[in-house]
Amino acid sequence: MKLQRLFLLFLFISVTTTVFAQTSAELKRSKEAIQREIDLLQRNLNATSSSKRMTMGQIRAVSAKIRLMQNKISVINSEIKNLDNQIHENTNEVHTLKSQLGQLKNEYAGMVRFAQRNKNAYDKMMFIFASDNFNQAYKRIKYFQQFGQYRKKQADYIQGTKKKIEYKIVVLDKNLKEKSSLLTEQEHEKVKLGKNKTEQAQMLNQISRQEKQFRQDIAARKRKQAEIDRAIRNAIQREIEIARKKAEEEERLAAQKAIAEGRPVPVTKERTTSNYLTASPESAKLSAGFENNRGRLPWPVGQYSIVERFGSHTEGQAHYTNDGINILTEQGAAVKAVFEGEVLFVRELYGTYIVALRHGDYFTIYQNLKTVNVARGNKVETKQTLGIVASKEDGPILHFEIMRGQNKLNPEAWIAK
């Protein structure tokens, strides 16, 4: 039973160490991903800082960078908490192992003393020959053999426990060094965060001096986006009308056929926009596939940082709504389809292109493309390149939307975390 308990202890140690290692690796990957976004934002800020006039894009980029830096500090805090837990666990394990080692040594000392008292070969022989029968003699011989084997095992367990203690002490030392390094990193990040908040405050002061210009910029942006939204809505509405007319024609032909054959006319079911758009098996399959990939769709660009989120926004005294997300990426980045489908339309407006894809009753929209590689009616595959992102005064920013019918959806709920 003691050996069984010792084995279970070693098993627990190995399992908890593995779980901790996995959690630490996940936190490290998360921290590295956040740092890549921060670096991307900083490169873009460096490239756009030469502009004489500050833009809303620069302010949004600094705000996004501050948010990411706060996230990074939170991840570091989680790493420190993890290490504290591991240090506590390892300290307890060392104490438990030392207690087990003392117990093993005591048991081994008792066996050695017993062996010393019974080391005389004559006494052993007399003990065996004093047996009442052959069966008893055989069992006594086996007893001497097993006793020797058990002593050897106990010696091995003692050595193994010593090594476990030494290993855990090394791990503890490593944990303490890692914690010290993380605390230093945390302090550096807090200093950088403070500097960025100061920069943000200076920008906000500048906004108040340029309020009129910013309101005009936002108003112009809203007008342009309204025209783009109309084009998208009209294209989707045309698609819905085509699907509706096709479904109604199929119902009419089915009714005529039923009358000609003397059968009851099929009852026409009430249809929704989704029913019309998913009437064909191919469209239904695309819709189901898109739906099943919620939260797992690939990003439309390779390097990315969201500089403006979905929903309502206030900048100064101006209010507006973003029906998608604005993604900062690298200069000349390829824009890729997030799911297979068909090109609904390609349109040029205000010097850049818009591409809309249909995936059954879902639609994805990609705005601000410098060039395009597809045309209306083309079938596209997941991650197929649609074109190259355009770069304006705010940098290379892709505006990305997801819709179901005419309903706007938050893309962050659909693309992979």
* Stretch (H or E) spanning 222: helix 211-260
221-249 per-position pLDDT tens digit: 778 888 888 888 888 888 888 888 887 78
Percent of the chain with pLDDT over 70: 77
Q: Which residue has the tokens 């050996």?
A: 3
Q: In this predicted structure, what is the pLDDT of residue 274? A: 79
Give the residues across from 244 on adjacent strands: none
- E strands, 28-187, in order: none
17-73 per-position pLDDT tens digit: 444 445 778 888 888 888 888 888 888 888 776 655 667 777 888 888 898 999 999
Identify which of 231, 227, 223, 244 has the alpha carbon closest to the alpha carbon of residue 356: 231
Q: Who wins on pLDDT, 396 or 11?
A: 396
Q: In this predicted structure, what is the pLDDT of residue 122? A: 45
Q: In this predicted structure, what is the pLDDT of residue 408? A: 93
Q: Who wins on pLDDT, 46 or 134?
A: 46
Residue ranges and CATH numbers for the domains of the chain are: 2-209 (no CATH), 215-413 (2.70.70.10)
Mean pLDDT over each residue of the chain, to the nearest integer:
80
Q: Tell me: pLDDT of 5 over 60.
A: no
Task: Note the residue count of the chain.
Answer: 417
Q: In this predicted structure, what is the pLDDT of residue 369? A: 96
Give the residues across from 396 on adjacent strands: 391
Q: In this predicted structure, what is the pLDDT of residue 12? A: 47
**Phi then psi dihedrals of residue 281, to 5 deg:** -60, -35
pTM, entire model: 0.68
Radius of gyration of the chain (CA): 36
Q: What is the DSSP string of 151-219?
A: HHHHHHHHHHHHHHHHHHHHHHHHHHHHHHHHHHHHHHHHHHHHHHHHHHHHHHHHHHHTHHHHHHHHH
For residue 121 the two structure tokens come to 């070969």
| CA 315 – CA 204 distance, rounded (Å) | 10
CB atoms within 10 A of CB 402: 27
Of 108-122, 163-177, 240-254, the one with minimum mean pLDDT is 108-122
**Phi then psi dihedrals of residue 308, to 5 deg:** -150, 130
188-228 per-position pLDDT tens digit: 989 988 888 888 887 777 766 666 666 777 777 778 888 88
Task: Please compute the mean of the pLDDT values over residues 110-134 and round it to a whole number.
Answer: 60
Query: Please, what is the Cα angle at 364 between 350 and 32, to 5 degrees?
Result: 95
Task: Please compute the mean of the pLDDT values over residues 362-373 and round it to a whole number.
Answer: 95
Q: In this predicted structure, what is the pLDDT of residue 366? A: 97
- Identify the band that residue 4 occupies on the pLDDT scale cut at 50, 70 and 90: low
Q: In this predicted structure, what is the pLDDT of residue 306? A: 92
Q: Tell me: pLDDT of 90 over 80.
A: no
Q: In this predicted structure, what is the pLDDT of residue 358? A: 94
Q: Tell me: pLDDT of 362 over 90.
A: yes
